[in-house]
Structure 1
Amino acid sequence: MIKIAEKTFLVTGAGTGIGYSIAQCLIASEARVVLHCNSHVEPAQKLASEAKTDCVVIQKDLSQPQAGQELVEEILNLGYSLDGVVNNAAIMTELSLDDNPSVWEEKWLKTLEVNLIAVSSITRRAIEHFKSKGGGIIVNISSRAAHRGDTPEYIHYAASKAALSNLTKSIARNFAADGILAY
């Protein structure tokens, strides 16, 4: 069993939903938690203020270029040594075949930026950090849409989550010898 008391975890998308619940569980297990959020800052701040462990909230828009790398750098610059990352943040916007082609492409690019590119940047920097300290844990939150596809309005979301699942498998295969576990 992995002991998480006094370990430091980054949870992206920790302002609501699954990310918020994961952060609550980590806090209840006495872990230090960095709660990332974009637009749901108040719930994350409330959770951090009520925690009996060390918690900090960082707001960052993961749809911006290099935001994932910057997020991890900001955490390390605060003096935290990460032990685990939970990549939960994602967007799921509706699109239509009737959308203007530029709107269609913009929605695809933003979805891929948040759901895949930012995660890959966070993961890349976390792996570098984990290698220097002998290991760490990466948990990537996917979706059933990754395995079964989705409706035409959400095919971009399903594609991004399928790629995330493959990224996770590739990390697990290639970095376990470095003590890096990926789920």
Structure 2
Amino acid sequence: MNLTTALVTGSSRGIGAAIAVQLRARGVTVIGHASKAHDADTIGADLADPAAPARLWDAALERGNGRIDILVNNAGLFAANPISLSDIAWLDNWEDTLRINLTAAAELSRFAVRHWLAGGRGGRVVHIASRAGYRGDSPEHWHYAAAKGGMIAMHKTIARQYAAQGIMSYAICPGFTDTAMAGDYLASRGGPGLLADIPLGRVAAPEEIAAIATFCALDAPESMTGTVIDANGASYVR
């Protein structure tokens, strides 16, 4: 009988959908999440709402019969925020991105850690961060880079503080990932100019990032806790 249950945020498309597919192929019961539920396996929760992470966690626990073993913090918002906007518009965009990309992930991680501590058993958190957390991003994406940098710091803290209790934390930092039609995706981000900055010569496929996430969730040695895995085609190396 399968006893492994995972909550994957942002599982309706792109990297999250690929992670859900690969985890299910390994026998994991996946509880999906999207801003709006679109099937019976997905919980709808708009993470821009401060109350949504708690509702999502409670609903996921109910579906998991009181047990969640893996949390994948994948949900994110990537939207431009030019510095030329009005003060209030710029701040609103900043706060929306930080809430969805970092604060909601922090809340869910907190719920997961408390769940595992109370149950006296371990668990795993996999954070889908970004190359931007180390390298920075465009002039219109200060907020995105800041959120992903915060996620990396949070991940390292979880790993250092809870490893002795069997709680493992792993982070993945993709570069550009083709989560839309390839032509439209590249065109929206500079076309061939974008590829010139990637030694591999192409952006990552969602399935590549999902393979790393699945490894972290199920196979990575415990000694790897705290690790940050880069997946950016050598466009940024540390």
TM-score, normalised via structure 1 length: 0.87
Deviations 1:38-77 (A, max 9, x none): 15x44xx3xx6xxxxxxx2101000101211221111123
SS at 1:137's partner residue? Answer: strand
Larger CA deviation: 30-39 vs 166-175? 30-39
Q: Number of matched residues? A: 167
Q: Does 1:118 align with 2:101?
A: no
What secondary structure is seen at the aligned counterpart in 2 of 1:96? coil
Q: 2: distance between equivalents of 1:66 and 1:167? A: 20
Kept in 2, the 8 Å contact 1:38–1:60? The answer is: yes
Paired with 1:61 and 1:11, the residues of 2 have a C-alpha distance of 14
Of stretches 69-78 and 14-23 in structure 1, the one that deviates more from structure 2 is 69-78
Q: In structure 2, which of residues 69, 94, 103 is the aligned counterpart of residue 83 of structure 1? A: 69
Give every structure 1 segment of 4 or more consecutive aligned residues whose post-TM-superposition deviation is greater than 3 Å: none
In structure 2, what is the Cα distance between the partners aligned to 1:167 and 1:66?
Answer: 20
Structure 1: unaligned runs, 5 residues or longer: 49-55
Indicate yes or no: 2:128 matched with 1:131: no
Q: 1:96, CA displacement in angstroms?
A: 0.8
Cross-structure match for 2:52:
67
Per the alignment, in what secondary structure is the counterpart of residue 152 of structure 1? coil
User: How far does the alpha carbon of each residue in 1:72-92 deviate from its partner, in whole angstroms, 9 at most, with x for none?
Assistant: 111123324100000000001
Which structure shows the bigger proportion of residues in helix conformation?
A: 1
- Aligned AA (1:70): R
Contact 1:66–1:121 (CA under 8 A) maintained in structure 2: no
**Distance in 1, Cα, partners of 2:55 & 2:103:** 13
Which letter does structure 2 place at the counterpart of 1:127? V
Counterpart of 1:101 in structure 2 is 87
Residue 26 (1) aligns with residue 23 (2): yes
Aligned equivalent of 1:53: none
Cα distance in 1 for residues equivalent to 2:137 and 2:96: 18
Match of 1:162 among 127, 149, 154: 149
Larger Rg: 2
Partner of 2:191: none
Whether 1:173 aligns to 2:160 is: yes
Structure 2 gaps of 5+ residues are: 171-238
Separation (CA, whole Å) in 2 of partners of 1:8 and 1:77:
12
Report the secondary structure of 1:94's partner residue.
coil
* SS across alignment from 1:138: strand
1:62–1:114 Cα contact (<8 Å) kept: yes
